[in-house]
Amino acid sequence: MTSLVKGYALAGTMLATVYCGLPAMAKGRPEAFASKADAAAASLEVRMTDEERLNMVRSTFSRTDRTAKPLPADVISSASYTAPVTRLGIPALRETDGPLGVSWVSGSRKDGATAFPSSLALGASWDPGLAYQIGARMALEARAKGFNVLLTGGVNLVREPRGGRNFEYLSEDPLLTGIVGGQGIRAVQDSHMISTIKHFAFNAQETGRHVYNALISDNAAHDSDLLAFRLAMDIGKPGAMMCAYNRVNGPQACGSSALLTDILKTEWRYPGFVMSDWSAVRGISDLGAGLDRQSAEELDARPYFAEDLLKATRTDQQLHRRLRDGARRVLRSMLDAGIFDHPAIVQPVDPQAGKELAEKAALGSIVLLKNEGALPLLKNARRIAVIGGFANDGVLSGGGSSQVQPVEGPAINMPGNGAKHRIMFHRSSPLDAIRAKLGKDAVLQYDQGFYPAAAADMASRADVAIIFATQWMTEGLDAADLSLPQGQDAVIAAVAKANPNTIVVLETGGPVLMPWKDQVRAIMEAWYSGIGGGPAIADVLFGDADPAGRLPVTFPASEDDLPRPRLDDSNDPERDLASQSQTIAGFDVNYNIEGSDVGYRWFARKGVKPLFPFGHGLSYTHFSYSDFAVHDGPYVQVTFTIRNDGDRAGSDVPQVYVRNRAGTAGLRLVAWDKVALEKGASKLVSLTIDPKVLGDWKSKNTGWVVPAGNYEFFLGSSSGDPRNIFKTKISSKKER
């Protein structure tokens, strides 16, 4: 497994086998999940009273500034708390949010933590090893604050490019999401913490998130979002699954026996517990449907998993069995993660190592979208104009439960324009980092970019203009459209007109439209880059680092090209604002339009060229691929050689796609490698393709089936780069 985790940067040719999803799969099921904890949990549960069992399946909202209820003195302000069962030596459960670091709970705790780049940035790194390192660091910091459950592992697919939480998700592709997400979860579980995986499932938009009904067929579901969950689950073995707010094919996700009992617990034999999202429970019957725990019960209409439930279990044997099963599952996850034997110890943590890792992650994720010779910048550049994006103060971050406050406190903290959450910039100024790269003779000027005329005036007097453009996204609110907000398009257009040497640096939560694309000389996507963002951006601008990221999502040229040109029901102002309301009318969001063809697969199906394709990203050096071959067998293997034949060290992400399977056209990423190579170095890569990714879901009895026939694969630098085509016969395979 470590071969997947490490990047290779040695000169000369080397051989490494990189598995894409195989390790989890190869161990088989359900043995992969079996652990000593099963027996221990069962014997502990038998000794419990029903009141003690009930304690395990409920939790208290633990924001100390928000709850009226008196909380035990040792509660740390956070997302939720479950009391210990002292009689049996069962420790308390203390939960904090991820996935971008230990969250600050909307300001109720200001003790600081490492603010990592957004999950989408991590997806852009295509680097499972980096995901593991971040997961481990997050867990270390969380444990040092006394937590033993990390609410991380957001693996919903980016189905809706305007989705407010896309920055908390990894990509639009199930394989990329599953592997990178799975490694982050695995790191947390390896650190004696329970990790969640969330939000199960189809929580792809915030508009009406408590009430919309995601419509999707069983087959399409298994070949898209559910596949991402399944892959991440097999790799990461999360102790808890968090069900989503929305409805799926009718029932609420947290009350859906189809999702929780039939698919998760029966088909996939998931041994962990299902916890609700915060205020997602609608009644006692959710327990019967497969929900094991009501989270932060004060936030729901009632604490359903409370005395009423206890009363009901006295006459309803099936419900009583579910209560026992729920308690046992929680205990099992606690024992499996080692929470009994390795209690979290509150202690100080040196923030430096976290900061260094955050900067490394930012470097690994920056995507160079366009470069007409403008980059890297020369360090002896004379007159530089930096414009916009509060680049003098810091880098933007996303809002909501995942918001982290770094130890230094925010550079900017302002109201979020009608949104519940606040807009925060981390203290990592790109302007300062650019200044540090320049010689003493350089003249560096900064303009806020509020007025096109002022920005253009300053740009006209510079040799190069670097303009920072931001798109703030937050939990609870979708973007109304994909344009850069606050008139930034006009500022960029004016600057580009005034200075032909204009470079745009984007700090966005996801894809945006770029009407000025042809007027600027370079475009760089830095995402929400975390506490190391400023120096990382400057390193890539000046070529001290090669841009190592590749797009984890398609950037469309127009919203008309999307499966849903308009966000579902965003034209209803009530629903638009009421992402927190459970009482507004429900509405359908029809994911059967694209089915499993999410993102680039939709564009391929429609034959539409996007602005920038999934997988795209430029380097400062040049890589060539050769000897691409696909070998059939029990598992399909691909082999090729990648060579850095440019004149400097750099990183690349060679990607293998299938575009025709046994006569059926359709594009799918099936394998990739993240490679760092010195100038002149090459690497022989061997990858194994997971049959679930190559096949189609048939039914719960059959599982995924790879159809026999002629296949067409290609190896390229993006989904839109069908070079190195390889045609071969593939035999049928099955996988469950």
List of residues contacting ligand BGC (CB under 6 A): 79, 97, 151, 198, 277-278, 401
How, if at all, do strands 149-151 and 80-82 pair?
unpaired
Nearer to ligand BGC, 97 or 298 (CB): 97
| Spatial separation of the C-alpha atoms in residues 442 and 464, rounded to whole Å | 12
Instruction: Give least dist CB 564 to ligand BGC, A.
Output: 22
| Spatial separation of the C-alpha atoms in residues 425 and 403, rounded to whole Å | 11
Q: Tell me the C-alpha to C-alpha distance, in Å, between residue 529 and each of 260, 365, 397, 525.
A: 35, 8, 8, 10
Question: Cα 239 to the chain's mean position, in Å?
Answer: 18
Nearer to ligand BGC, 200 or 468 (CB): 200
In the DSSP assignment, the letter for residue 381 is -
Evaluate whether 182 touches 24 at the Cβ level (below 8 Å). yes
| Spatial separation of the C-alpha atoms in residues 47 and 463, rounded to whole Å | 75
Nearer to ligand BGC, 475 or 546 (CB): 475
| Spatial separation of the C-alpha atoms in residues 255 and 240, rounded to whole Å | 16
Residue with tokens 């080397």: 14
| Spatial separation of the C-alpha atoms in residues 263 and 273, rounded to whole Å | 14
Instruction: Give least dist CB 79 to ligand BGC, A.
Output: 4
Q: Tell me the C-alpha to C-alpha distance, in Å, between residue 103 and each of 97, 141, 275, 501, 714.
A: 5, 11, 19, 39, 41
Nearer to ligand BGC, 198 or 692 (CB): 198
Nearer to ligand BGC, 245 or 446 (CB): 245
Evaluate whether 59 touches 297 at the Cβ level (below 8 Å). yes
Instruction: Give least dist CB 14 to ligand BGC, A.
Output: 41
Instruction: Give least dist CB 164 to ligand BGC, A.
Output: 11
SS3 content of the chain, % helix, strand, coil (to 5): 30, 25, 45
Nearer to ligand BGC, 53 or 210 (CB): 210
Instruction: Give least dist CB 229 to ligand BGC, A.
Output: 15
Instruction: Give least dist CB 430 to ligand BGC, A.
Output: 29
DSSP 5-70: H-----SS--EEEEEESHHHHHT-TTGGG--HHHHHHHHHHHT--HHHHHHHTB-EE--TTT--S-
Task: Classify 260 as helix, strand or coil.
Answer: helix
Q: Across the strands, what pairs with 699?
A: 703
Question: Cα 610 to the chain's mean position, in Å?
Answer: 22
| Spatial separation of the C-alpha atoms in residues 421 and 531, rounded to whole Å | 19
Nearer to ligand BGC, 99 or 691 (CB): 99
Nearer to ligand BGC, 203 or 724 (CB): 203
Instruction: Give least dist CB 475 to ligand BGC, A.
Output: 6
Nearer to ligand BGC, 61 or 657 (CB): 61
Instruction: Give least dist CB 335 to ligand BGC, A.
Output: 23
In the DSSP assignment, the letter for residue 477 is B
Task: Classify 289 as helix, strand or coil.
Answer: helix
Instruction: Give least dist CB 97 to ligand BGC, A.
Output: 5
Instruction: Give least dist CB 165 to ligand BGC, A.
Output: 8
Nearer to ligand BGC, 253 or 730 (CB): 253
